[in-house]
Amino acid sequence: MANGLFQWRRTATFALVVRRCRDCTCAARPYDPDDPAKSRQTLVMPTLRITSRSIWAVSGGVLVLSALHASSAPAAAQLAAACPDGVIGNVVIENRSVFDLSNPERPRRFRWAYSFANSLHIRTNAQVIEREILFETGDCYDVEVMRDSERLLRAFDFIASANIYGIRSADGTVDVVVDTQDEWSTLVKPSVETRAGVQFQGLEIEESNVLGSGQSAAVFYDREREERIYGASYINPQLFRSRWNLGLQVAKTEVGQSYYQALTYPFVGEEGRIAYRQTVGRDDRYFEILMPETGDDLAGILVPVSREHFEIGVAARWGAARFRHTIVGLALAGERIDYPAPPTLNDPEGGRLPRATASELESSWLPVSSVRMMLLAGQRNVWFVRRRAIDTVNGIEDVQLGVEAEGSIGPSLPVMSEEYDLSTGLGLYAAGEVGSGQLIGGQFEVEARRSYESLEGLPEWHDVLAQLDLWAYIRSRPDSRHTIVASLSGVGGWHGRVPFQLTLGGDSGLRGYPNHVDPGGRRIVASLEHRLFLGWPLPELGDLGTVIFADVGKIWPGNVAFGTESPIRGSFGVGLRAAFPPGSRQTFRIDIGYPVERHTGFGNLALSVGVGQSVGRRVQHRDPQLVRSARYGLSTSDFVDPATRPE
């Protein structure tokens, strides 16, 4: 009888969690362990007919239950001491599609459109969500574990929002509801160039949640000025229903082929203590060097570069507090860089590169072949806050605050390497919140090689690459529709033994200028944006916002081939930001930039289309023009947030 009563109570509790109770009336609010008085539940049972027989039956049941309770009192006391906020009873997954049709506040005028969109989308499987959370029935209820699980879910591209909360049940346990909403997972990403008319530059079609499994598949085609590339990629964040991640990418290039494979087991939230990673890849691409011609014209020199790499590593972390970790790691990594053919002139009319110029370029770059043992160390003292519309249109984001520092050192192994050098790397991230909703922060990264072999005319330290990003978000109040974003970015390279060159224009530099303008070796760009969330015309369908921006920057020659010193240049423009569905963290961007130059007309307008913001903390971790010249390296942050695609 006791077991039957226990099962009945658990059934009633489950009905309370999902807010469906056939024979009783339930009212509940999320359980707040910081203030239990705020949590209340009401369970109104149906009317019962009381007789003398039922009174005797109830009396006997009370005696049995009293005896059982007395015998289990010490165990209950121990459990209460171990779990002061209670024990998790049921875990209910409420995985909603792109539009929640059960929401009574949603206007009915577009219900047909919501239903049609949901019919085209396959909802995320509940097992995918269940495998990602960090708790299960019988665990202690811990708010920090719930929040950590929310961050893991929101890190997925196919999850628009994730909220986890508990409800106190009649039997003293806490039932946990995991409430998620899907992103629209099928994306078409075009790339266009607007100089000399609108020109198609590429297209990527991606499904980030194949059949609701959380797996991603994409095909892409890029037609850049120097070459054409087409390929496909696949990502599985839960390989064999585990926490292992698998990433694959293959592509065909005009130089040869490209492939990338990554198998990673990252640190799981803030609880994980060990992580693994293994990658292997090859990338045969043209590296375009810009060379001044007559007037302001630039000619492109195509340098075929073949890169290969592999790595296998492990990292461990520990710390007394949840968000304060010391990380150490060890990895074996190798890379090879060579130049399969001499450089050529990128001239559709068949022009040839002067032999003297080609010989000078070839003599300035050296092939690379090394295998090294990497020693990694890092310190992570961070915490997270939830803020709305920082780098999304109106979605909720997890903002990392605090300080994170990391370093790496890797001597080459003489028996397995043609180089005798030392690889070093340093990274620093810091962010904080000032006043009411003001965010400031930045990050700095530098990598370098120190050669133990003296080569005539070459410095001891070489392939030095550095990047500094500073940003600030300013609001009058946390819920303001207006946000001012200021950013400062500096990028540079010194003593490169592999091809390296920056430009001042394009998405990495000044919006409003083409990618191929002002080549150099060191660049600084400052940007100012005013972002406005409109909240109309169709707030129930999606989020819409506007941007007004201004950029100013300069480039210096450094010691790169054909580097120039530019004047201080500027640009300004406007843009639109859109998100679908409302509250999505996925931001679609359209910017129109105009260069501040004499004798410029409307034909100089530059259109930029993409996903994500152009400036701010969530912009690409490393500058794309820096990545294409970077030697292969590794840091402790690669084990925290592993890449399943090449940068």
Q: What band does 41 get if pLDDT is binned at 50, 70 and 90? A: very low
pLDDT at 317 over 90: yes
CA dihedral 533, 537, 538, 539 (to 10 degrees): 30
What pLDDT, on the 0 to 100 scale, is given for residue 66?
A: 45
pLDDT at 39 over 50: no
Contact 462, 495 (CB under 8 A): yes
What average pLDDT score do residues 314-338 get? 93
% of the chain residues with pLDDT over 90: 54
Query: Collapsing DSSP states into helix, strand and coil, what is residue 250?
Result: strand
Query: Collapsing DSSP states into helix, strand and coil, what is residue 601?
Result: coil
pLDDT at 224 over 80: no
What pLDDT, on the 0 to 100 scale, is given for residue 620?
A: 59
Give 331's contacts (C-beta < 8 A, 6+ positions apart).
Answer: 277, 311, 312, 313, 314, 373, 374, 376, 634
How far apart CA 12 and CA 23 sit, in angstroms, is 9
Stretch among 75-84, 166-175, 243-252, 316-325 having the lowest mean pLDDT: 75-84
What average pLDDT score do residues 316-320 get? 90
Q: What band does 463 get if pLDDT is binned at 50, 70 and 90? A: very high
Q: What band does 437 get if pLDDT is binned at 50, 70 and 90? A: confident
Q: What band does 225 get if pLDDT is binned at 50, 70 and 90? A: low
- Dig out the tokens for 298 from the structure: 């630039």
Stretch among 231-240, 333-342, 442-451, 509-518 having the lowest mean pLDDT: 509-518
User: 64 or 450, which is more confident?
Assistant: 450
Report the amino acid identity of residue 418: E
What pLDDT, on the 0 to 100 scale, is given for residue 226?
A: 65
Domain ranges of the chain: 2-46+64-182, 223-296+309-640
pLDDT, tens digit (0-9, with 9 covering 90-100), for 260-296: 999 999 999 888 999 999 999 999 999 999 888 765 6
Closest alpha carbon to 192 in 503, 545, 514: 514
What pLDDT, on the 0 to 100 scale, is given for residue 69?
A: 45
Stretch among 203-217, 223-237, 481-495 having the lowest mean pLDDT: 223-237
How far apart CA 619 and CA 452 sit, in angstroms, is 37
Query: What letter does residue 604 receive in the DSSP assignment?
Result: G
pLDDT at 32 over 90: no
Q: What band does 20 get if pLDDT is binned at 50, 70 and 90? A: very low
What pLDDT, on the 0 to 100 scale, is given for residue 79?
A: 59
How far apart CA 561 and CA 558 sit, in angstroms, is 9
| CATH of the structural domain 2-46+64-182, one choice from 3.40.50.1820, 3.30.390.50, 3.10.20.310, 3.40.50.1110 | 3.10.20.310
pLDDT, tens digit (0-9, with 9 covering 90-100), for 601-622: 666 788 888 888 988 887 657 8
How far apart CA 93 and CA 135 sit, in angstroms, is 12
What pLDDT, on the 0 to 100 scale, is given for residue 500?
A: 94
Q: What band does 370 get if pLDDT is binned at 50, 70 and 90? A: very high
Angle of helix 2-17 versus helix 52-82 axis, rounded to 10: 70
Q: What band does 643 get if pLDDT is binned at 50, 70 and 90? A: low
Q: What band does 62 get if pLDDT is binned at 50, 70 and 90? A: very low
pLDDT at 129 over 70: yes
pLDDT at 30 over 50: no
What average pLDDT score do residues 395-419 get? 93
- Dig out the tokens for 558 from the structure: 């450094």
What pLDDT, on the 0 to 100 scale, is given for residue 541?
A: 84
pLDDT at 358 over 50: yes
Average pLDDT score over the chain: 83
What average pLDDT score do residues 373-393 get? 93
Give 165's contacts (C-beta < 8 A, 6+ positions apart).
Answer: 30, 31, 146, 176, 177, 179
User: Which fold, 223-296+309-640?
Assistant: Porin (2.40.160)
Closest alpha carbon to 559 in 443, 453, 461: 461
What pLDDT, on the 0 to 100 scale, is given for residue 440?
A: 96
What pLDDT, on the 0 to 100 scale, is given for residue 318?
A: 93
pLDDT, tens digit (0-9, with 9 covering 90-100), for 582-602: 889 889 999 999 998 866 666
% of the chain residues with pLDDT over 70: 83
Report the amino acid identity of residue 487: S
Closest alpha carbon to 390 in 431, 427, 428, 429: 431
User: 350 or 86, which is more confident?
Assistant: 86
> How far does Cα 497 stand from its chain's mean position?
31
pLDDT, tens digit (0-9, with 9 covering 90-100), for 153-164: 999 999 999 999
> Which segment, 37-41, 310-314, 349-353, 540-544, is predicted with the most confidence on average?
310-314
What pLDDT, on the 0 to 100 scale, is given for residue 68?
A: 45
Give 52's contacts (C-beta < 8 A, 6+ positions apart).
Answer: none
pLDDT, tens digit (0-9, with 9 covering 90-100), for 102-127: 777 777 777 888 889 899 999 999 99
User: 323 or 259, which is more confident?
Assistant: 259
pLDDT at 166 over 70: yes
Q: What band does 23 get if pLDDT is binned at 50, 70 and 90? A: very low
